[in-house]
Structure 1
């Protein structure tokens, strides 16, 4: 038996459906878990366009269009990268809204940033914003990934409720 859909995914999708919006995702450290949480909701296809798992830096740059200057200056574990990933997913998949995840799930630090450093970017018609998360208290890679999915869905829900169409 499959688990119940994530409550924030249900609410976010309902808010997006009500406003006639569409949604794309771009994921790095979550490896498709945000998309899985969204598509675990019956009727997600009314809103969800698709996603890109951009685990490699080259995919962030070549597919999502993250500027090389962001990678070289801010790094892939940054607010600028999360925001650029969200922009790229929305552009690539023709969506009004997007959510993106990037960060360090471990076991080692990356770009001098400790395990548990995560950035979530959310794009709406009104603009793009990001939030830095410190998930160092989460247990292991899976714990950091799960906590990132929860945070990304909550941030998407908040954005969808505040700025459904811009």
Structure 2
């Protein structure tokens, strides 16, 4: 679950606050929570391409250990609009996760994850999008590096 509130400062800049709740299906005692703020900047917004930079600062808590973890996430997002009449639009993003501190339950490495996504965005209505694609996720844990290839489905709803 990831509820968030956004405010459009301008046509190109929005600021957000949000909350994440994650409970593992493999270990029901593992619960992670995060309170976060982010800035999203539309660097290019044209008829053929959108290029967006998103910077998020997270304050994270976990049942796995003591202390609050501070993490910075930076995402570059590209949406291609080369054929305006075709509703599914190709999208790509790359996101890096940086640990700014290291409580006992967080990897000792500064770079904790990298996620690369390639997929399509289907606008179901003016306020609802379905995003489907491939996600390559690399986690840099203290003891090992885990690479995962995942099918990813996102359902986005916005309220104006």
Q: Per residue, is there more helix in 1 or in 2?
A: 1
Larger radius of gyration: 2
Q: Which structure shows the higher strand fraction? A: 2
TM over 0.5, yes or no? Answer: no
* Bigger RCO (CA 8 Å, 6+ sep): 1
Coarse TM-score class (shorter-chain normalised): 0.3 to 0.5
TM-score normalised by length of structure 1: 0.33
